[in-house]
Chains A and B, each alone.
Chain A
Amino acid sequence: MKKTVFLGALTVAGLAAGAAAAATLDDVKARGKLNCGVTTGLVGFAAPDSNGEWNGFDVSVCRAVAAAVLGDATAVEFVPTTGKTRFTALASGEIDMLARNTTWTFSRDVDLKFTFVGVNYYDGQGFLAPKNLGVSSAKDLDGATVCIQTGTTTELNLADFFRANKIEYQPVPIETNAEAQQQYLAGACDVFTTDASGLAATRATFENPGDHVLMPEIISKEPLGPLVRHGDEEWSDIVRWTLNALISAEELGITSANIAEMSAGTNNPEINRILGTEGTLGEMLGLDAEWAKRAIAAGGNYGEIFAKNIGEATPIGLARGLNAQWTDGGLLYSPPFR
Chain B
Amino acid sequence: MTDRNSQIVAFVREETIPQAPPPTAEAGVVKWVRVNLFSSIPYSILTLVSLYVIYAILASFLPWLFNGVWHTSNIRECREVLEGATGGCFSVLSDRWNQLLFGIAYPSDQYWRPSLAFVLLFGALAPVLFPNAPRRLLILTGLYPFIAFWLVWGGTIFIPLMALAGVAAGYLVYSRYVADSFAMGAAGGVATAMVVWWIGGFVTGATEGVLALEAVPSRDMGGFMLNMILGVVCVSLSLPLGIALALGRQSSMPIIKWICVVFIEFIRGVPLITLLFVANVVLAYFLPPGTNFDLILRVIIMITMFASAYIAEVIRGGLAALPRGQYEAADSLGLDYAQSMRLIILPQALKISIPGIVNVAVGLFKDTTLVSVISMFDLVGMIRGPILASSDWNGVYWELWLFAALLFFVVCYGISQYSQWLERQLATDHR
Interfacial residues, chain A to chain B (CB-CB below 8 A): 9-10, 13, 16-17, 20-21, 27, 39-44, 46-52, 77, 79-82, 84-85, 88-89, 91-94, 176, 178, 181-182, 201-202, 204-207, 314-316
Contacts and interface: CB of A to CB of B under 8 A. Distances in A.
A40 B375 CA distance: 6
Contacts of B390: 41, 43, 47-50
A148 to B, nearest CB: 20
Given A204-B391, A314-B391, A47 B386 contact: yes
A88 to B, nearest CB: 4
Given A85-B374, A92-B285, 17 more contacts: A9-B286, A10-B285, A13-B287, A17-B289, A41-B386, A47-B390, A50-B95, A50-B390, A80-B377, A80-B385, A84-B373, A88-B282, A93-B290, A178-B384, A178-B397, A201-B391, A207-B79
Main secondary structure of the interface of B (DSSP, over half): helix
Interface in B102-116: 103-105, 108
A205 B394 contact: yes
B281 A41 contact: no
A205 B75 CA distance: 8
B176 interface: no
B285 A40 contact: no
B369 to A, nearest CB: 14
A92 B291 CA distance: 11
Contacts of B103: 52
B389 A40 contact: yes
Contacts of B277: 84-85
22 contacts: A9-B286, A16-B288, A17-B289, A27-B290, A40-B375, A41-B386, A44-B391, A47-B391, A48-B104, A50-B96, A50-B392, A52-B108, A84-B373, A85-B281, A85-B374, A88-B281, A88-B285, A89-B284, A176-B384, A201-B391, A206-B395, A207-B79
B99 A13 contact: no
Given A80-B375, A207-B79, A48 B394 contact: no
B34 interface: no
Contacts of A181: 395
Nearest to A181: B395
A48 B104 CA distance: 7
Contacts of A39: 385, 389
Interface residues of B, number: 39
A10 B283 CA distance: 10
Contacts of B381: 40
A17 B284 CA distance: 10
B284 A94 contact: yes
Interface string B43-81: 000000000000000000000000000000001100100
A235 to B, nearest CB: 14
Nearest to A54: B104
Contacts of A85: 277, 280-281, 374-375
Contacts of A201: 391, 394
Given A41-B386, A81-B375, A20 B290 contact: yes
Interface string B72-98: 000110010000000000000001100
B389 A41 contact: yes
Contact of B289 (A40, A88, A92, A178): A92
B395 A205 contact: yes
A317 to B, nearest CB: 10
Contacts of A46: 389
Nearest to A179: B397
